[in-house]
């Protein structure tokens, strides 16, 4: 098995390593690893090895592209785009950003809403999610959790991101904040036309 490498899927970094007959993929959300065999990754039958087409070995056959394609199809959540029926009422001074809802999972209690985050683009969203999970994982380990275990309580994304419309002022504020904004406000919502509503006169600034 090779050393762990990374592949970016929808702005999210996934770790993986490859061997002769499978790949190990680490889910960035749950931190758990899963083993996917050669046949599932490449869509080929094990019979090709028995027929001698690859001399009974597949060393080097599993490429990062195979792993990425598998994650895109079976594991990752693709950011949602507005449907053809949903028209974003984009005005002359508005911008498009990503809106991501979050939820909190607590062992023994279940799942509950946990606010939302805003992102300039998919790359910022992916980096923000990865950093958030890494920080929570480090805190849990610091408090005695085994590194391979899932924390008793942690936040995670809920569903896919939505492309939404915001005033240019809000877009500029988001840029000044580094491209990401996290909030637990219940007043701020996304309406049917994918416009961000509930913001005060100062935008993202309280």
Per-residue pLDDT 10s for the chain (206 aa) are 678 888 888 777 889 988 777 889 888 877 888 888 877 877 666 555 454 444 444 456 778 888 888 888 888 776 666 555 545 445 546 889 999 999 998 877 788 899 999 999 999 999 999 998 888 878 877 877 777 776 778 888 988 899 998 988 899 999 999 999 999 988 888 988 888 888 888 888 76
**N- to C-terminal Cα separation, the chain:** 50
Q: Which residues pair with 47 in a beta bridge?
A: none
Q: What was the pLDDT predicted at 52?
A: 46
Query: Is residue 116 classed as helix, strand or coil in its secondary structure?
Result: strand
Q: What was the pLDDT predicted at 46?
A: 53
CA dist., res. 164 & res. 170, Å (int): 12
Sign of CA dihedral 76, 130, 104, 165: negative
Two tokens, residue 78: 């693709």
Q: What was the pLDDT predicted at 117?
A: 95
Contact predicate 23/16, CB 8 Å? yes
Two tokens, residue 66: 């195979």
Q: What was the pLDDT predicted at 41?
A: 78
């Amino acid at each position: 098995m090779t050393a762990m490498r990374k592949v970016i899927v929808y702005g999210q970094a996934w770790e993986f390593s490859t061997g002769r007959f499978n790949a190990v993929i680490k889910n960035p959300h749950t931190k758990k690893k899963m083993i996917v065999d050669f046949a599932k990754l490449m869509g080929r039958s094990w019979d090709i090895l028995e027929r001698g087409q690859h001399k009974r070995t597949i060393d080097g056959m599993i490429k990062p592209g195979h792993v990425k394609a598998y994650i895109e199809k079976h594991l990752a959540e693709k950011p949602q785009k507005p449907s053809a029926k949903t028209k974003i009422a984009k005005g002359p001074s508005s911008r498009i950003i990503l809106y991501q809802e979050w939820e909190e999972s607590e062992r023994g209690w279940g799942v509950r809403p946990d606010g939302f985050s805003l992102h300039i683009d998919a790359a910022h969203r992916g980096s923000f999610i990865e950093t958030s999970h890494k920080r929570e994982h480090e805190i849990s380990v610091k408090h005695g959790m085994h590194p391979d275990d899932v924390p008793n309580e942690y936040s995670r994304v809920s569903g896919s991101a939505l492309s939404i419309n915001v005033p240019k002022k809000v877009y500029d504020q988001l840029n000044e904040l580094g491209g990401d904004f996290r909030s637990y406000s219940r007043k701020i919502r996304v309406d049917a036309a994918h416009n961000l509503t509930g913001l005060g006169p100062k935008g993202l600034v309280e």
